[in-house]
Structure 1
Amino acid sequence: MTDDEVYAAYAPPAADWLRVNFVSSADGAATLEGLSGPLSGEEDKRVFKVLRARCDVLLAGSGTVAAEGYGPLVLSAERMAWRRAQGLPEVPVMAVVSRSLAGLDPEAGIFTEAPRRPIVVVPADLPETQLEPFREVADVVAAGTGAVDLPAAVAALRGRGLRQILCEGGPRVFGDLIADDLADELDLTISPLLVGAGPVRVAEGRAAAEARPLELRHVIEAGGNLILRYLRGSTDE
């Protein structure tokens, strides 16, 4: 597939859209040796980069940001050129969801070297003493009490014009998005690996009230990987 074909394959069906991107092993593990990276190959990373180029904001939990070593959200020259051609800013905004800000460093490159000012999404009752260092390097969005209220957080992001949301996890954030019925799309790469018992699934944490039906939009086989795109609530026929 050409780059244009990959971009077209992931065109969002609506102006407001929240997609989640994960990789898992063939037996359902979301991590290998504690990280998702070892499950991902060249084919999965190609989709990963296209999805980043297509979004207005990249949403990730603080645990994933810390564990996976997220740096500043930057794109290649080719991806930035594609965004400019679509009338988009050269890079998306990075938004980090955190219940307590524990494990996040306001001096880390994800904040201090970001080409666009990042966002931290936190509960409204978090002490100002914890928030103050982050206000220097990021916009603070307060949503919920005691824990992040994801429906309110998503509404706040869209209120800023960040309507195309890409979530890269972690599993607990994805579990909460399912429970709150916020996920419009799951982009899942199944890696040809057997990991065995132990690692978490792609969705963890709070249980959903019911199963959410999905429509399988495409299956791409590449390098032994199955690259799946599932939609729900799509009007794109």
Structure 2
Amino acid sequence: MRQIFPAAPDDDVDVRALYASDERARPDRPWVTMNMISSVDGGISIDGVSGGLGGPGDKAVFSALRGMADVILVASGTVIAENYRKPQTPESLQTVRAASGQDPIPRIAIVSNSLSIAPDHRVFDSDHRPLMITHRGADAERRQALAEVADLVDAGDDAVDLRSALDALYALGARTVLCEGGPSLNGALVAEDLVDEVCLSFSPILLGGDGPRITRGPELPGALTLSLQRVLQDENFLFFRYVRR
């Protein structure tokens, strides 16, 4: 892995240290980083999952971003499609996180209006309970079932309000939130101008078709501009880091 922008003399960068050194701070809510992978022609999945697009470099960036996050924010549909589980954080990194005041393992926060995810899904680990971000009008029986395996956070009356959700995470101590999708959740965050950073892995693949992009939702009334901070290269993969201007 080498850094090609800004130009750097080292052809073998420490990916984890590099992403950990980036400044991420807001005074009012958690800093939100969106991390996604895309093919050259904009596709984000093969047979419904993103894994086929990645490679060793993408896994390194994915791990580094998870390593800096207080909370991993993800839609319930993505949890099901990608078969999420508890974050696999190396013990050495757990020690570093604990020493800096973070929880040893980032906490998963699952966003769901319907609470349709099964309580026996493997993401629900008794030693590391996820958060379930939902709304006060969600089905009472499903709320009760999921409250056995997760901590429910109400953000909104009839649908999840993402600004309220971030406020709740901030009140719980989260200062950095890593959003891993899917496209509808990404699009909703972008529509509210709640994304501070975009990390985009570019896979050297053409997929064709008319599949989803990294965001889904109504067209914005005005484009949101980003500032390019860094580009890494690993063989034919590129890794971009942008921040909101």
With structure 1 as the length reference, what TM-score do the two structures score? 0.92
Which residue identity is paired with 2:73?
L
Per-residue CA shift, 1:129-170, capped at 9, x if unaligned? 120011111111111233211111111111111121000000
Aligned residue for 1:76?
Answer: 90
Does structure 1 residue 109 correspond to structure 2 residue 122? Answer: yes
Whole-angstrom distance in 1 between the partners of 2:236 and 2:217: 30
Greater shift after overlay, 86-95 or 54-63?
86-95
1:182 to 194, 199, 206: 194
Aligned residue for 2:40?
Answer: 26
Aligned residue for 2:5?
Answer: none
Aligned residue for 2:7?
Answer: none
1:12 to 11, 14, 24: 24
Q: How much has 1:187 moved relative to structure 2?
A: 0.3
Contact kept? 2:136, 2:154, Cα under 8 Å: yes
Contact kept? 1:32, 1:199, Cα under 8 Å: no
1:86 to 96, 100, 103: 100
Q: How much has 1:14 moved relative to structure 2?
A: 4.2
Does structure 1 residue 131 correspond to structure 2 residue 131? Answer: no
Which residue identity is paired with 2:121?
A
2:161 to 134, 146, 149: 149
Which residue identity is paired with 2:227?
E
Whole-angstrom distance in 1 between the partners of 2:239 and 2:16: 17
Whole-angstrom distance in 1 between the partners of 2:180 and 2:151: 20
Instruction: Give ranges in structure 2 of 5+ residues lacking alignment.
Output: 1-12
Superposed CA RMSD: 1.6
Whole-angstrom distance in 2 between the partners of 1:8 and 1:139: 28
Contact kept? 1:24, 1:188, Cα under 8 Å: yes
Aligned residue for 1:59?
Answer: 73
Instruction: Give ranges in structure 1 of 5+ residues lacking alignment.
Output: none
Whole-angstrom distance in 2 between the partners of 1:194 and 1:91: 35
Between Structure 1 and Structure 2, how many residues are aligned? 231
Whole-angstrom distance in 1 between the partners of 2:67 and 2:150: 21
Identical-pair percentage:
37
Which residue identity is paired with 2:181?
G
Does structure 1 residue 199 correspond to structure 2 residue 223? Answer: no
2:133 to 121, 126, 130: 121
Q: How much has 1:41 moved relative to structure 2?
A: 0.9
SS at match of 2:123: helix
Contact kept? 1:175, 1:203, Cα under 8 Å: yes
